[in-house]
A and B are shown apart, each in its own frame.
Chain A
Amino acid sequence: MEQYLLILLSTVLVNNVVLVKFLGLCPFMGVSNRFAGAIGMGLATTFVLTLSAALSWLLETYFLRPLGLDFLRLVTFILVIAAIVQFTEIAIRRISPILYQVLGVYLPLITTNCAVLGVALLNLNQGHNFTQSLLYGFGSAIGFTLVMVMFAGIRERLELNDVPLAFKGAPIGFITAGMLSMAFMGFSGLVK
């Protein structure tokens, strides 16, 4: 039990997928303009990431390894991730058309969110079992959502402020992201 909590804590804060591992930066910069969009993107990615972490572990253990197809790992994972993203898109379109419009092109782009593939591969690297993989995926996704929401909140406030012309828009966003990343470095050493 303690081990599982540690995995969650480590993935959400210490080894945060965006700010410490620098994965999934495209939606991090792209969809963080509006608070509502950031939450929606975070939830969609949470769903995809958790599901793909679990499914990729199952595929690796019961499909690729017994057949000796380790070299097809990347292709298989991408295939599964793309299918899950497509499924999520269909589901979101049905459940919330407004969220569908807000997320726009970034929804299909979860496919190429390297956090999703990265977590699936890190699971194998670290030799996790099924529950650990699931938690690792879920924790990473929660970390992603947390950072997205924080960053969107900061950016909404930044827009109301008098930013020097040269830094308006994306540049001040990058600077903020760098400072957030440094702040998250403070968590290192929390979990061994």
Chain B
Amino acid sequence: MLIAVGALAALGLLLGVILSMAARFLSVETDPLADELEQMLPNLQCGQCGFVGCRPAAEALSAGETDVTLCPPGGVALAAKLAEKLHVEIDLSQMDHEPLVAFVHEENCIGCTKCILVCPTDCIIGAPKKLHTVIVSACVGGAACLEVCPTDCIEMVPVTVKEESVQSWNWPKPRSPQSTSSELATRSVDR
């Protein structure tokens, strides 16, 4: 019993030491700047910048091969942060176009769920043969849904209505009990 436990433990220890040595000496040096930039990017892997995902985009940014204004979901705020990080000058006025979000034209939606499957942020809700709709506050404008829609019923529209999101949620201040009761009193008088 003890021999068995000891032997297996010793074997495990030996293999562990070998593996940790291998991990140390064969480790891949990743670009630390690209790592930091990847953390700053939204990591939605939406592909709007033309790269396959956020990691390749971060690598291209750190190599200086692309512009800091590449990321539509990140918007102006991200571009400014990236410019500060990379010490480059940008003209933010180029980026003043409004962010676009997907909109489902309901008369043509057949409920095929194809757009739901490709959305990187899961912002389209619906079920097979049921009408789909877009949660505007979660849509980053990836436009992946446009290509797969068989009836072309999705359109990219500017955000017009400021949707309630966690950031913009404003809880109204509760009214005081006195005002409520007096209001009720006046109401009953009116009646």
Contacts and interface: CB of A to CB of B under 8 A. Distances in A.
Contacts of A167: none
Contacts of B7: 63, 67, 69, 72
B26 A90 contact: yes
A132 interface: no
A67 B28 contact: no
Given A67-B3, A79-B11, A94 B19 contact: no
A4 interface: no
A94 B3 CA distance: 38
Contacts of B126: none
A97 interface: yes
B15 interface: yes
Contacts, number: 43
A65 to B, nearest CB: 12
Contact of B27 (A80, A94, A97): A94
Contacts of B18: 83, 87
B26 A72 contact: no
Given A69-B4, A72-B8, A76-B11, A86 B19 contact: yes
Q: Interface majority SS on B: helix, strand, loop or mixed?
A: helix
Contacts of B3: 67-69
The winner among B8, B11, B27 for most chain A CB atoms within 10 A is B11
Interface residues of B, number: 14
B25 to A, nearest CB: 9
Contact of B26 (A63, A80, A94): A94
A93 B8 contact: no
Contacts of A76: 8, 11
A91 B22 CA distance: 8
B23 interface: yes
A49 B15 CA distance: 17
A87 B28 contact: no
Interface of B: 3-4, 7-8, 11-12, 15, 18-19, 22-23, 26-28
Interface of A: 59, 63, 67-69, 71-72, 75-76, 79-80, 83, 86-87, 90-91, 93-94, 97
